[in-house]
Amino acid sequence: MAHPERRRPSPPAPRANLARVLLAGMAVWGVALVVSLVMALTGAGNWSAVAVCGTGLALGAPGILWAGRHRD
């Protein structure tokens, strides 16, 4: 902080396959959807959890399309 000109350069940003990350997230939302759906059908859960999981899956789809277009 006292001498910014002597600061080491920042390391490069890590590279990640965003489509893979989004697919993993969608898989987790899918499992959560099945679990919450079973719980809601048996009366142990509520339907808002099912809606949240469905929304997570629905928002992942455009995310994958976006990741495919922005691979750089």
| Chain center to CA of 15 | 16
pLDDT at 4 over 80: no
- State the pLDDT confidence band at 1, using cuts at 50, 70 and 90: low
Interval 19-62: pLDDT, tens: 999 999 999 999 999 999 999 999 999 999 999 999 999 999 99
Distances (CA, A) of 28 to 39, 46, 52: 16, 19, 12
Residue 24: what residue type?
Answer: A
DSSP state, residue 10: P
| Annotated domain spans of the chain | 29-72
9-21 mean pLDDT: 88
Residue 13: what residue type?
Answer: A
